[in-house]
Amino acid sequence: MADPFVKGRWIIFVSLLLAMALVLVPLPASAPFELNYLRPDWIALVLIYWILAVPEKVGVPAAFFLSLITDLVVGTPFGFHGLSFVILAALAKSSYQQVRMLEIWQQSILIAMALMIVSGIQLLMMTLMLDRSSNLLQFMKPITSALFWPWVFLVLRFCRRRYL
């Protein structure tokens, strides 16, 4: 029985898995260490894409589960990515009809803004609740992420049309 909710779901899992691996791949030791602050947030980008593209398959609860796995893999306390992924998912889910209509570069700007808010929340969580300081370079991450959005979008759209 081909359940429309299940069909093609593996491509979503695989893309999220690859995004996690991409986050974990270490930079070469010769690269300046600060470059780590500029690496795009691949998992959030892939999550946003799937919610915009197939909101009936990926939603807020899925984003929460994803955040728990991300916390385990990245080594942050449980719930650190939870808040941001849930907020991103809720934003994407409530506005996918409008966002889909926009040009890719306009989507990039929106995503940069959303990720900026989320970075702020993450910074507050770390500094206020765990007493850890951070580098303000962290606020460059949303911008590099937004620059990579068009490529993520095109690759995942190709995958969706092919497999989903």
Partner 1 sequence: MKQLFLERSNPRNQAFVLCLVSLILFVIDGKSTALKPVRQAAGSLVEPIIWLAVLPRRIAEQGLSFFELRDQQRLELFEQRRLSETLQARQLKFEALLSENNRLRALLGSSAKVSDLVLIAEVVGISPDPDQHYAMVDKGLNDGVFVGQAVIDATGLVGQVAESTTNLSKVLLVTDQSHAVPVLSVRTASQLIVEGTGNRNLLSMRHVSESLDLKVGDLLVTSGLGQRFPSGYPVAEVARYERAPGAAFAEVLAKPSSQLQTLDHVLLVFDSAEDLTPDVALETIGPADG
Residues that bind partner 1 (CB under 8 A): 6, 17, 20-26, 29, 33-34, 36-37, 39, 59-61, 64, 67-69, 72-80, 82-83, 86-87, 89-90, 93-94, 125-126, 129-130, 132-135, 138
Spell out the residues 6+ positions from residue 5 whose beta carbon is closer than 8 angstroms to its own. 56, 57
CA distance 98 to 41: 23
Question: What 3-state DSSP class applies to 145?
Answer: helix
Closest CA relative to residue 91, chosen from 71, 128, 73, 117: 117
Residue with tokens 């919610």: 51
Given the complex with partner 1, which of 36 and 106 has the nearer CB atom? Answer: 36
Give least dist CB 119 to partner 1, A: 12
* Least gap, CB of 103 to partner 1 (angstroms): 26
> Least distance (Å) from partner 1 to the CB of residue 64?
5
